[in-house]
Structure 1
Amino acid sequence: MRERDWEQRLAAFVAERRAMPFEWGRNDCCLFAADAVRAMTGDDHAIGLRVHTSAQEAARLVLARGGLRQIATDALGESVPPAMATVGDVVLLMNEGRELLAVCNGGTAIAPGERGMVALGMDAALAAWKV
């Protein structure tokens, strides 16, 4: 459940991560989404996921856990249609032929990119999870 001041917590998290580049095991899509949830709720759903330091290790971890969709479902419960996502919810997007987890920011979803946070269109969302 979100804390009463979740909006301020999410805003502080976004400000902190705005210029932080993508980094496996620290600021990749899965940990970015989990850290945003932790900022809003105080719950860390990434326990056991902070063990990779490369794309290859991350791919093995995601495969072993059943994929990004299953990782999000295990942490947050059943998914909802992307149209039901609101600010702060976790979304699964397709971007450049790959799935990634992001955080709904209204009409866009935010995720870590090569040079800092990027905004992606919600029209690429495949699923969402209410936080």
Structure 2
Amino acid sequence: MRRAGWERRLSAAVRDWEDRPFAWGTADCLGFCRAVARSMTWEDPIPGLPDYGSEYGAAKVLVSLGFDSIEALVDAHLARLPVAGARRGDWVMTACEGAMPGAMGVVTGRYAQHMGRNGLVRRPVLTAEAAWRID
């Protein structure tokens, strides 16, 4: 559940990640989303995720947990909603290049923040392929 003052904590968490360079397992898209959600709700929506340090390691973790994609992992923990219904703090997935299709991001208004190579990048929410509610 979103705690009182979640809006302020959402903004602060996004600012904390603005210039953080991408790093698998410590500063990647799912790590960013989980950190923002923890700041808003005081709980990790995907607890107990094993450590990994590469794209291959992330894919290996997904398989070891019985999932074939990040989307399936998130589906197992969060309620999906229509992309047009996503509000500030919710998560979205947008297509990206690489072996792990789909970059997770956090909605901050009309745009969602996603981890880029050198920090956060903004993408229009309505270009997302999927969305999940963070309560």
Instruction: Indicate whether the TM-score tops 0.5.
Output: yes
Q: Does the 8 Å contact 2:92/2:105 carry over to 1?
A: yes
Other-structure match for 2:60: 60
58-67 or 31-40: which moved more? Answer: 58-67
- Report SS of the residue matched to 2:120: strand
Other-structure match for 1:94: 95
- Report SS of the residue matched to 1:109: strand
Q: Does the 8 Å contact 1:95/1:124 carry over to 2?
A: no
The answer for unaligned runs of 5 or more in structure 1 is none
Other-structure match for 1:85: 86
How far is the alpha carbon of 1:50 from its aligned partner? 4.5
Structure 1 residues 2-32: Cα deviation after superposition (integer angstroms, max 9, x where no partner): 0110001111101111111111001111111
**For 2:120 and 2:16, how far apart are their aligned partners in 1?**
10
How far is the alpha carbon of 1:75 from its aligned partner? 2.1
- Give the letter aligned to residue 71 of structure 1: L
- Report SS of the residue matched to 1:58: helix
Aligned pairs for 1:15-34 within 5 A: 15-34=15-34
- Give the letter aligned to residue 48 of structure 1: G
Identity %: 33
From 96, 108, 113, give the equivalent of 2:111: 108
- Report SS of the residue matched to 2:130: strand
The answer for unaligned runs of 5 or more in structure 2 is none
How large is the RMSD of aligned CA atoms in angstroms?
1.6
Q: Does the 8 Å contact 2:22/2:115 carry over to 1?
A: yes
Structure 1 residues 28-75: Cα deviation after superposition (integer angstroms, max 9, x where no partner): 111111111111000013433241001110122234423112221222
Q: Does the 8 Å contact 1:31/1:46 carry over to 2?
A: no
How far is the alpha carbon of 1:105 from its aligned partner? 1.4
- What is the aligned residue count? 130
- Report SS of the residue matched to 1:95: coil
**For 1:48 and 1:65, how far apart are their aligned partners in 2?**
15
- Report SS of the residue matched to 1:26: coil
